[in-house]
Amino acid sequence: MSRRFPTSVLRILPFLVPALVAVAAWALWLGWDQQRDVHPDGSTSGPYEAWQVVGLVLTLLVPVYWAVSRGHTAGAVLGTTAGLTAAAWYDWSDDSTGLFAIGVGMVMIGSLAGTAAVSGVIALAGRGMHRTAS
């Protein structure tokens, strides 16, 4: 007797996989670094370094490609955006000024725009490959 996933589970996988990978990738690349860097002139930066953000973006290309290549562009865009937004909210919500909400909004808008653009490129490249293969 073979067991199959219920269709309801299969329908949410293209959204759920990018969302969960985005949360895990945030924790892996950014979640551990909470200290601002103080420079000799007294200015501060951080807490993240550029290489951490680049690593996060490159890691997220995998689930986005996975979902888009299966025809689930909306799941790739919305799942990744939801995961990054939730991770940013969780990571930054202890800010006593309340300004973290602006940063979270910027993460949401930026990840929505960036993931939509990357998904569009992946989808177009996939269509181009199908045309040349036919």
Which residues neighbour 115 within 8 Å (Cβ) at sequence distance 6 or greater?
Answer: 60, 64, 76, 77, 80, 81
Q: CB of 53 within 8 A of CB of 30?
A: yes
Lowest mean pLDDT among 13-27, 28-42, 104-118: 28-42
pLDDT at position 47 is 86
Residues 42-86: tens digit of each pLDDT? 887 778 889 999 999 999 999 999 999 999 999 999 999 999 999
pLDDT at position 60 is 97
Interval 8-29 mean pLDDT: 92
What predicted TM-score, i.e. pTM, was given to this entire model? 0.84
The SS3 call for residue 105 is helix
Which band of pLDDT confidence, cut at 50, 70 and 90, is reported for residue 5?
Answer: low
Name the residue with higher pLDDT: 133 or 129.
129
Residues 81-102: tens digit of each pLDDT? 999 999 999 999 988 888 999 9
Q: Which of 109, 112, 103, 88 is nearest to 29 (CA)?
A: 88
Tally Cβ neighbours within 10 Å of residue 59: 16
* φ and ψ of 118, to 5 deg: -65, -40
Residue 2 reports pLDDT greater than 70: no
Tally Cβ neighbours within 10 Å of residue 8: 7
73-92 vs 7-26: helix axis angle to the nearest 10?
Answer: 40
% of the chain at pLDDT higher than 70: 92
* φ and ψ of 38, to 5 deg: -100, 125
**Single-letter amino acid, residue 129:** M
